[in-house]
């Protein structure tokens, strides 16, 4: 159990701004490959805290402001880790036409036009989807429903990113500062991560008695497989930035899927 706690806190500290006991941070690089099994659980925590901010802000300011504050909370909790990766992917694939050029641009810490435009459109789409979701689709949503929706979105989108690690090779492993985080590792890690992803989705489905919610998995995984194939075509695999982009894009996909599914319920 102590080793599992180490793996969990390693994932929490690496993939968010949250932290655990001090001893966890001492020589924890060797735990990174196996800690990926707890990435969806990190999504649970981010989703739970984001939902709490949303519900508190809704009571004080209304849905629109609450959605913005919830988005801010999500970004602060992760240190814009995934958004930064998405922006770098936009710059790299927008400005480069060969593997070396794409990787060079993505490695540049400066934000370019493609990254800025991509972030604006992504955050705008996320805001619009959440606004429609909570003002039109889920007008009478209660606390448990709202919390479940956020947790599922954050867990499922992180699992989508994990699938790239197991389906593709890292594009520049020799240059990685944290190569342990991108090692394929054991299949059991993918299975455990999948279980942690399904727990909140199945729980929300049962609570709402709406089996169609399980269909949310389909567009998310299809989109992640497409993105993985796209990255492989251009750079021969993926980078950490690509994982961040997949998380952000599939999180929005989850919100859009909620809206579409509820039209048929």
pLDDT digits (tens, 9 = 90+) for 13-35: 999 998 777 666 555 667 888 89
* Higher pLDDT, residue 254 or 108: 254
Domain locations in the chain as residue ranges: 36-262
Cα–Cα distance measured from residue 83 to residue 123, given in angstroms and rounded to the nearest whole number = 9
| CB neighbour list of residue 191: distance below 8 Å, 6 or more residues apart | none
- 78-112 pLDDT, tens digit each: 999 999 999 999 999 998 888 999 999 998 888 99
Q: What is the pTM of this model?
A: 0.93
Closest to 255 in 3D by CA, of 147, 158, 126 = 126
Cα–Cα distance measured from residue 257 to residue 255, given in angstroms and rounded to the nearest whole number = 5
């Amino acid at each position: 159990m102590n080793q599992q706690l180490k793996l969990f806190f390693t994932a929490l500290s690496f993939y968010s701004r949250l932290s655990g006991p001090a001893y966890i941070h001492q020589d924890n690089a060797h735990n990174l490959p196996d800690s990926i099994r707890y990435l969806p659980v990190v999504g649970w925590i981010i989703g739970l805290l984001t939902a709490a901010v949303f519900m508190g802000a809704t009571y004080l300011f209304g849905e629109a402001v609450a959605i913005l504050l919830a988005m801010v909370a999500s970004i602060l909790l992760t240190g814009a880790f995934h958004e930064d990766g998405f922006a770098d992917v936009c710059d790299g694939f927008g400005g480069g036409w060969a593997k070396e050029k794409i990787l060079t641009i993505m490695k540049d810490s400066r934000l370019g036009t493609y990254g800025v435009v991509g972030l604006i459109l992504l955050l705008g789409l996320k805001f619009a989807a959440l606004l429609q979701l909570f003002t039109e689709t889920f007008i009478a949503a209660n606390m448990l429903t709202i919390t479940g929706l956020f947790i599922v979105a954050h867990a499922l989108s992180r699992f989508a990113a994990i699938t790239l690690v197991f389906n593709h090779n890292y594009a520049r492993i020799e240059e990685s500062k944290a190569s342990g985080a991108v090692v394929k590792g054991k299949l059991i890690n993918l299975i455990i991560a999948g279980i942690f992803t399904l727990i909140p989705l199945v729980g929300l489905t049962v609570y709402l008695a709406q089996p169609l919610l399980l269909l949310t998995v389909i567009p998310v995984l299809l989109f992640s497989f497409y993105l993985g194939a796209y990255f492989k075509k251009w750079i021969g695999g993926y980078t950490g930035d690509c994982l961040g982009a997949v998380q952000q894009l599939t999180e929005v996909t989850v919100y859009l899927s909620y809206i579409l599914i509820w039209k048929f319920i």
